[in-house]
Amino acid sequence: MRAAGRVVRRRVPLRLHRGLQSVSLFEIGNSLREARLRKRLEFREVEQATKIRSRYLRGLEEEDFEALPAETYVRGFLRAYAEALGLDGQLYVDEYNSRFVTGEDSSPLRPRRSQPRKRPGRGIETNVILLALTAIGVMTALVIAAWKFSSSPEPVAGPGRPSPSLPQRPAAKRPARPARPPAVRVTPAKLLVQATGGDCWLQVHADSASGKLLYQGTLERGQSQRFVSRRLWVNAGRPENLDLRLNGEPVSIGGTSPVVVLITATSVTPATSRS
């Protein structure tokens, strides 16, 4: 067990007995090992595919999670290793949370309730409807007047008396089309990540943790990666070793502990491993 305020890990027995019932738990390490052996893969081949070092892969198969640096690493490695073997990565993360995690470092962020946006062009639509109704009323009055005029007896034209002429109908006005609101352009987040202070394990998804995987692996000292998206989900193991620039401006994502953040063109906010 660790100090207060940090995650506490403990191993849960493979079988729990309660009365006369017995519940078998999911074997994380054995199922990963069996899947790898079925595909006839060595650790070095999986390491090249996932960018996860062999000793960490062996620790996952032996369920020696104490050998991994932090809870964030364990979840990320489990998801990546399982998906590389054709398994459901989220299933392994959920099983790990239910068996080995008894607390969380911080409570999940509550989403803000966005106020309903006023529908643009509501006043314009009302004016168009009123104009259309007025035009229909005018047309109806003209039709009735023309019908009454045509049903009355026409006078006989005599010498010196001009023949009557029918009144001309005014052209109906066509309702004006409402102007379209200008399209709102969303500025993408252009993020440059450089490992200046040392190595750092890095995982980047587009939009959220379940979005498209843009990068996953250990960013060695001196290396850099560039990402462009409307929103970026970033998981960094050693953020103090990174130098980040967002749209050309330097930004900071945390101190000396693993961190998960959401980055847009104008903000950097904390996130969770599932958001």
Question: What would the pLDDT profile of 170-220 be if each residue is shown by its tens digit?
Answer: 666 776 776 776 666 778 989 999 989 889 889 899 988 888 999 999 989
How many beta carbons lie within 10 A of that of residue 161, not counting itself?
9
Domain ranges across the chain: 15-100, 189-270
Angle between helices 43-50 and 54-61 (to 10 degrees): 110
Q: What is the mean pLDDT of the chain?
A: 76
**Which residues, 6 or more positions from 85, have their beta carbon under 8 angstroms from its beta carbon?**
32, 35, 36, 39, 41, 46
Q: Global pTM?
A: 0.38
Residue 159 has pLDDT above 80, yes or no: no
pLDDT tens digits, residue range 31-90? 999 999 999 999 999 999 999 999 999 989 998 888 887 888 889 999 998 999 999 989
Q: Name the architecture of domain 15-100.
A: Orthogonal Bundle (1.10)
pLDDT tens digits, residue range 101-157? 765 543 343 333 444 444 545 566 778 788 888 889 888 888 888 877 776 555 444
Three-state DSSP class for residue 194: strand
Strands of the chain (E only): list them.
Answer: 15-18, 21-24, 189-195, 200-206, 213-219, 224-229, 232-236, 242-246, 249-251, 259-263, 268-270
